[in-house]
Amino acid sequence: MTNFKDLGVSAPILKALDAEGYTQPTPIQVQALPIVQEGRDLIGLAQTGTGKTAAFALPILDRLMANRKHAGEKSCRTLVLAPTRELAAQIGDSFRAYGRFLGLSTAVVFGGASMFKQKQALCRGVDILVATPGRLLDHVSQRSVRLDKVEILVLDEADHMLDMGFIHDLRRIATLLPKQRQSLFFSATMPPPIAELAAQFLNNPERVSVTPPSTTAERVEQAVIHIDQNKKQDLLHALLADKTITRALVFTRTKHGADRVVKKLESANFPAEAIHGNKSQGQRTRALDAFKKGRARLLVATEIAARGIDVDEISHVINFDLPNVPEQYVHRIGRTARAGAGGMAISFCAPDERAYLRDIERLTKQAVPLMETDLSLRAPKSEGAGPRTKAPAGRGGQPQRKRAPKKHHASEAHGKAHAKQGHTRSRAREEGDRRDRKGNSVWSNSPAHYRKQRKPTR
């Protein structure tokens, strides 16, 4: 089996990896390291949790060391662009951890933090600059950084850059970079607009892919519960009575939705934190810290705010609302089962979200197994049989697909899950929480209320 030494990683970095507890390279690292070391451009198709940060950070550190020189005032040798503050901070931490014995300098700049301190960090020039696109351009316009000496460019989570409307910023940044450079481009999915963006940045790239595009993380056990929107909170409380949910990331579609869920969780005695685009940087950092250190068992987040959250021991991802963009489902459930561990993703599906579920199943080419509880709605017999939902534009009805044979009983499914394991998105998308508060039913927290799943009759 290939190890980091065979891949040509230098001794001081091997020592740092040892300290991190990395024994074997992950598949994306095995594929990407030699290409980056050769100085070639790269497209890496890899979902979160695959070890893609080290796949670019390790060879970059080695390349910077092989040709050690000063970046020059207000300049950087490597520029890493990330869509969110959290992801940028995390990438910066990774470079510092892997390069701890190298004496290279790293700066991280993102919005919502002091410009002044960032300017100070950039003043003498840095080896590695990690930035969100908007704040980087602020620094460019205030002449606190110049990009004409960049030797290596990394564009991470390119699909989210587009989702978040960074396309114009990226095009502008491209014009400020030298033509002669190495470019590395990472994305979990590669729909045509991302491929076009890649073509603008890359020159004759090598392509590596660790999972086929748009497939779900293999080790994540999945389940869906059909439920009325106004019973979702009760369902969440009922599920949380199960102690095997040790640390859960709960996704809502909107920022207000996230706040509402947290408020109700807290009044039911489930300590929870919210993280979304309306929170200040300080609040986000504190919430994440409470979650990481186990003071809060639950972190309720909107899709975009959760990007870059790297917490190893998330036992469960709970989709309180299903995402209306199917690729987001893949990202969300990838927050559990990180770095080789298992995990479980449970999705709540209201009648008007069934079209989203169909889109997800079509994208991932697998049916999400049903889980039933006393609060469950009867699952739709066929895709056309449930209450009529409005499919997103351009997606028509599909012939009925066979359900996966596997079925979950709620508590059994939890038992299987085990430990070990920015910027706001477009406001228009964050709006529109369709929560209906009518008809609340009283629900006991006892798991005894779970009803055994009966085989569906067809």
Give the whole-angstrom CA distance, residue 308 versus residue 330: 14
Output 52 or 160, the one with its CB closest to ligand AMP.
52
Output 91 or 357, the one with its CB closest to ligand AMP.
91
The structure tokens listed for 199 are 């073509």
**Distance in Å, CB of 21 to ligand AMP, minimum:** 7
**DSSP code at position 370:** B
Q: How far is CA 91 from CA 139, 140, 264, 280, 348, in A?
A: 19, 21, 34, 20, 32
Output 25 or 386, the one with its CB closest to ligand AMP.
25
Output 53 or 222, the one with its CB closest to ligand AMP.
53
Question: Over 286-339, what HEC string results?
Answer: HHHHHHHCCCCCEEEEECHHHCCCCCCCCCEEEECCCCCCHHHHHHHHCCCCCC
- What type of residue sits at position 166? F
**DSSP code at position 386:** S
Q: Who's near 396: CB < 8 A, 6+ residues apart?
A: none
Output 157 or 163, the one with its CB closest to ligand AMP.
157
Output 168 or 420, the one with its CB closest to ligand AMP.
420
**DSSP code at position 379:** P
**Distance in Å, CB of 246 to ligand AMP, minimum:** 17
Give the whole-angstrom CA distance, residue 269 versus residue 276: 22
Output 340 or 456, the one with its CB closest to ligand AMP.
340
- What type of residue sits at position 252? T
Binding site for ligand AMP (CB under 6 A): 22, 24-26, 29, 48-54, 310, 312, 338-339
Count Cα neighbours of 42 within 13 Å in the Cβ-side half-sphere.
30
Helices (H), 130-221: 133-141, 158-163, 167-176, 192-201
Q: What dihedral do alpha carbons 271, 246, 356, 390 form, nearest 10°? A: -30
How do strand 343-349 and strand 220-226 relate by DSSP bridges? parallel
Output 207 or 292, the one with its CB closest to ligand AMP.
292
The structure tokens listed for 365 are 């080419």
Q: Are 147 and 81 in contact (CB under 8 A)?
A: no
Q: Is the dihedral of CA 159, 160, 163, 166 positive or negative?
A: negative
